[in-house]
Structure 1
Amino acid sequence: MQCSTPFVDVEKRGSDSSGDAIIDVEINSRAGTLVNKEVIGPKLSRAQIDAEIKTTKTIPLQEYPTGYPLQAAFQSSESSWSIYRGFSYLHARVILDLQDELRCLEENLEEIDLENEGEGRLRSRKDDLKFAKDQGIVSPRASLLDKIRTKLVSYDEILVKTRELNAFQRPSKRDYRSFRTWFWNKKPLSYELEEQFIKRKEDLVSLRHGREWSGFDGLIESCIQRVHCRLVQRIFATKELRDKTNDEHVHYYSQSRIEKLVGLIITLIIFILLVLPVVAMYKLTSVGDRNSTFDAVGILVVFTLLFSAAMSLLTKAKRHELFAASAAYCAVLVVFISNFSNDGSRQSG
């Protein structure tokens, strides 16, 4: 079968013992779609193929044994609950210990260099190794530098890993409360010392990637959770998520669907913040007197503040982005005021 469009990759799926069809799938480099090139064996309709692809298996939480298996299944079932100890104190202790070891090695190196001050061995590594070989010993300087190299590699690796660990997100209050509540109700671990890690809140890190509107998303998700309606849960949770557990107190929601709802709400807020001040300023500037112009400027200031507050609360915009967006929003409103004022003055003239 020939195609007029180029293909860049071919994925071949062989048949198994059950006699399933062998499908050669080609990836269209232009459209990015999958095209069935050839079907060998029992012919399946597209509906049957789609139904087979959608067939998935989810192991519910209640099927895991109580203990570490259940806790691991719970924490891996949702990125919000991927909460673990960071051991920042132990990282600091190891770094300080290596730091002092390197300090001692540094002092030893300085002593060896002072002993050989004025000799040619300090100016040539080759001469230093040759002198030690002639003496039938290993060069103290070379041996010490080898130890320093090993310690420095370990020190640098731990420093870099600690910096990366400090960049991890801390669990939000909402995620920590949910995890702590489940832990209290289920009590998966039997020993008191093994379950103490959940109480070290200041040392916990989350593996969850921050979303752009994580705080606002959490608020919307909390509101959805408070609505005890099966229709709402079916809208915001896929079948795979609903099959994860039969516990009525544990709910899973699709992040993509939550983000779509949040995007719709923020779009509506932006529309209101753009339309309302324009309408209000048009009503005021159409009067054409001096006081109405000052009132329009007051509306501009108020809505600019509202826009800045909305950006800081609903998004994770950086400071320079917040300044730039607020300035652009204010400039747009100023253009509207000037245009309306000019139209009002022409009509009065």
Structure 2
Amino acid sequence: MDSPVDFSALAETDDEPDWLAVAANAPAGNQGNQGNQGNQGNQDPGSTRSSNAVPPVPPPTMTAAPTATKSTPDPAPTAADLIQEKPWKYVGYQAYSDLLASEPDFFVARRFRSLNVRVALRMQDEISRLEEKLARIEEESRQPDKGVDNGTFRKDVVSERVELLDKISTSLYRYNKFIIQQTTLLKYPAAPSWDITSLKNWHMSHANEAIHREEKTYLEYPDDLIPIGPRDKTPLRRGMDKFLFLRTLPFWRDDRSKTLSSGGRRRIGDVEDGTGSSKDADLPPDALHPTMSFYNDKVMDHFVSIVTISIGLVMLVVPIWVLQALGNASHKLGVITAFVLACLLLTSFAMTSRPLDALGATAAYAAVLMVFLQVGAN
């Protein structure tokens, strides 16, 4: 039997061969004689091995063990991320209504001035037509050939007139009620432009998606908006609200979290975290109103009162010392005139919006200064 190992190839090298590798490269047909000698004796040495021959076993190779890699799960989205992604779901009308309720100046609505006038004119025309119809019935009932008693309601035989008066009564009630409502609406002042701007900023802070676009277009009619709860403010107080740098001073900043939510935090809902379970998504109220800064009206009103009282004291005390120091009567009259004009401007533009009240206060102030003048002369 021929040896399965080719020794001629090994003679070319001086190194000792790797016998395991040489044996692994031996022909498969000769190796099969160990387990299947009876079956393999008739096979041609050059033929392939049968399907039941034992395959050669390759030498074991050493491979490095794979290193375990730690997969870090993605962090769960925060409540702020959820609000930024879906403000229409987690903000919506709940947060918007809380915002409008937190400040009376923010609760504005349209007056619908043109539509109200049109409806009033329609109701007026309807009553006018009923009035004309009643006049025709009255004219027919006065004809000589008709014995109709027009001096009674109880025994009125003209049924058409009775029904018409019922319609007129109903129409007049609706019309009068509507006119009284319009009279009340016309007394409301226009909504301040800075409050409307604040509401628009709130919408922009939520990508204009917290409220449906068509449902917040009422803010695009600034001349038609009125505050539902208007407050009587002095011109000085309104001036502080008008100028941004005055109303945003840190002295009267208010932590509105206690007003917007009793617990200091607001739950915006149960949010799926991707694993099938729900988690509470809590968010501080300031995150629901990222562009809104709230200020304490009471502090601002107290500040205005202090400023007003201080100016009043200056207007009363300074002229006394000036008049006492001056000896010339003309100079004293000039000082009185200057302080009277200053008092008129102050009361007109800073303290009261009614011209007659400002004029009355100025007249009283001038009388007091004239008393000081007489005292100094004596």
Give your verdict on TM over 0.5. Answer: yes
Partner of 1:265: 307
Match of 2:149 among 107, 118, 121: 121
Aligned equivalents of 2:344, 2:231: Cα separation in 1: 21
Spell out the pairing of 1:80-95 with structure 2 (5 A cutoff).
80-95=105-120
TM-superposed CA distance for 1:317, in Å, is 4.4
Structure 2 unaligned blocks of 5 or more: 1-82, 265-284
Q: Is the 8 A contact 1:80 1:206 kept in 2?
A: yes
Match of 1:210 among 221, 231, 236: 231
Spell out the pairing of 1:263-302 with structure 2 (5 A cutoff).
263-284=305-326, 287=327, 292-302=328-338
* Deviation string, structure 1 residues 273-308 (Cα, Å, up to 9, x no partner): 111122111111xx3xxxx21111111111111111
Aligned equivalents of 1:308, 1:264: Cα separation in 2: 19
| Aligned: 1:255 with 2:297 | yes
Aligned equivalents of 2:90, 2:332: Cα separation in 1: 67
Tell me, what secondary structure is at the counterpart of 1:181? helix
| Aligned: 1:240 with 2:258 | yes
**What TM-score comes out, normalization by structure 1 length?**
0.68
Q: Is the 8 A contact 1:216 1:313 kept in 2?
A: no
Partner of 1:168: 188
Q: Which runs of 4+ in 1 moved over 6 A?
A: none
Partner of 2:70: none
RMSD of equivalent CA atoms? 2.5
Percent sequence identity over matched residues?
23
TM-superposed CA distance for 1:92, in Å, is 1.2
TM-superposed CA distance for 1:156, in Å, is 0.6
Q: Is the 8 A contact 1:217 1:259 kept in 2?
A: no
Aligned equivalents of 1:194, 1:322: Cα separation in 2: 43
Shifted more, 76-85 versus 150-159: the winner is 76-85
Which amino acid is 1:127 matched to?
K
**Greater fraction of residues in helix:** 1
Q: Is the 8 A contact 1:170 1:205 kept in 2?
A: yes
Shifted more, 150-159 versus 62-71: the winner is 62-71
Q: Is the 8 A contact 2:315 2:339 kept in 1?
A: yes
TM-superposed CA distance for 1:223, in Å, is 4.2
Which amino acid is 2:293 matched to?
H
Which amino acid is 2:360 matched to?
A
Does the C-alpha gap of structure 1 residues 248 and 233 become closer, same or farther in structure 2, counting only changes over 3 Å?
farther
Q: Is the 8 A contact 2:235 2:353 kept in 1?
A: no
TM-superposed CA distance for 1:74, in Å, is 1.6
Does the C-alpha gap of structure 1 residues 258 and 241 become closer, same or farther in structure 2, counting only changes over 3 Å?
farther
Aligned equivalents of 1:225, 1:219: Cα separation in 2: 6
Partner of 1:149: 169
Spell out the pairing of 1:264-343 with structure 2 (5 A cutoff).
264-284=306-326, 287=327, 292-342=328-378
Q: Is the 8 A contact 2:236 2:304 kept in 1?
A: no
Q: Is the 8 A contact 1:180 1:198 kept in 2?
A: yes
Aligned equivalents of 2:259, 2:163: Cα separation in 1: 59
Which amino acid is 2:354 matched to?
K
Does the C-alpha gap of structure 1 residues 248 and 125 become closer, same or farther in structure 2, counting only changes over 3 Å?
closer
* Deviation string, structure 1 residues 155-181 (Cα, Å, up to 9, x no partner): 011111111111122111222222222
Shifted more, 325-334 versus 251-260: the winner is 251-260
TM-superposed CA distance for 1:314, in Å, is 1.8
Q: Is the 8 A contact 1:68 1:188 kept in 2?
A: no
Aligned equivalents of 1:279, 1:238: Cα separation in 2: 47
**What TM-score comes out, normalization by structure 2 length?**
0.63
Q: Is the 8 A contact 1:217 1:262 kept in 2?
A: no
Q: Is the 8 A contact 2:93 2:211 kept in 1?
A: no
Q: Is the 8 A contact 2:189 2:227 kept in 1?
A: yes
Does the C-alpha gap of structure 1 residues 237 and 195 become closer, same or farther in structure 2, counting only changes over 3 Å?
closer
Partner of 2:240: 219
Higher-Rg member (1/2): 2
Aligned equivalents of 1:239, 1:194: Cα separation in 2: 27
Q: Is the 8 A contact 1:116 1:122 kept in 2?
A: yes
TM-superposed CA distance for 1:215, in Å, is 4.6
Aligned equivalents of 1:321, 1:312: Cα separation in 2: 8
TM-superposed CA distance for 1:65, in Å, is 2.8
Tell me, what secondary structure is at the counterpart of 2:215? coil
Tell me, what secondary structure is at the counterpart of 1:209? coil
* Deviation string, structure 1 residues 74-115 (Cα, Å, up to 9, x no partner): 211211111111112221121111111101000000000000
Tell me, what secondary structure is at the counterpart of 2:204? helix
Shifted more, 308-317 versus 152-161: the winner is 308-317
Does the C-alpha gap of structure 1 residues 317 and 174 become closer, same or farther in structure 2, counting only changes over 3 Å?
same
